[in-house]
Structure 1
């Protein structure tokens, strides 16, 4: 069965897109980001989908993008809320899932908590902290591995991700 070499999960600001693209490049694999896939297919931003169609519609699109992305050898990054959905969590069973953990100080520096993130539009720091408290148990339960990104540069995180993935490939 062909499947992603690794699936990256974590909250906004964890570095899933940046790290995922670099890991894919180093492994010589395509990189797929489900949020980018949705934006490309819908021809509008995630924020616009949330505002116009609502979160439920976006979550349905997100689950569908995740399902369609599991049958190719890629490095796959899921949107932060995807693994919280039961349907997506079930899809992840048996796959190599890596949780990129991040503290709020690092996340805020990376994403700036701007208006492009609809769930963080009001009181972004408190909302992010509450969201992470709710999501952390699912991230940890689904993860094959966890890489803490706190205070680390991107290259260091990429090396840690590759160490996990390539160790399994050689075992």
Structure 2
């Protein structure tokens, strides 16, 4: 059974997709994002799923997408920001090469302005981002093999830090 070479977790806007693509390129393998899998499978945006069906329905769809990806993918994999909320998913991540990309709220404001189409940040985004992180930070840390801070770093620097943290060599 194949398993991902690198799994990236962290909050929305931390750069999992950008960094994941760079890491995959450096490792000479493919990149995949479970949020992208969900959008392709559902034929609509994540924001639309949240609005139309609610967060519990989205989390169920997300859990299935993550479990499929973890079971049969051998490239670099990025998980949606809330994927680690599910206990079964956290159990599947045990022993895997998981890197938690972290950032503080000031960095989140700089990167996203916290005004993008993020359903969980619709009202008072700065406060909501802090509350989400307070609820999730320990879960990201729990599943992580390594933590890489992204604050003040370029995507290239973060990608190199991911490779270094997992002791992976470029292809």
**Aligned pairs for 1:54-69 within 5 A:** 54-69=54-69
Q: Distance in 1 between matches of 2:42 and 2:56?
A: 15
Runs of 4+ in 1 over 6 A off after TM superposition: none
Compare 117-126 and 106-115 and name the one that shifted more. Answer: 106-115
CA-atom RMSD, angstroms? 1.4
Q: Give aligned pairs, total.
A: 169
Compare 46-55 and 21-30 and name the one that shifted more. Answer: 21-30
Question: Cα distance, 1:107 vs. partner?
Answer: 1.3
Q: Distance in 2 between matches of 1:36 and 1:2?
A: 20
Question: Cα distance, 1:168 vs. partner?
Answer: 5.5
Q: 1:96 maps to what in 2?
A: 97
Q: 1:2 maps to what in 2?
A: 2
Structure 2: runs of 5 or more not aligned: none
Q: 1:109 maps to what in 2?
A: 110
Whether contact under 8 Å (1:12, 1:80) holds in the other structure is yes
Whether contact under 8 Å (1:13, 1:108) holds in the other structure is no
Question: Cα distance, 1:115 vs. partner?
Answer: 4.5
Question: Cα distance, 1:114 vs. partner?
Answer: 2.3
Q: Distance in 1 between matches of 2:98 and 2:13?
A: 18
Helix, strand or coil at the partner of 1:151: coil
Residues 125 and 150 (structure 1 numbering): CA distance in 2 closer, same or farther, change over 3 Å?
same
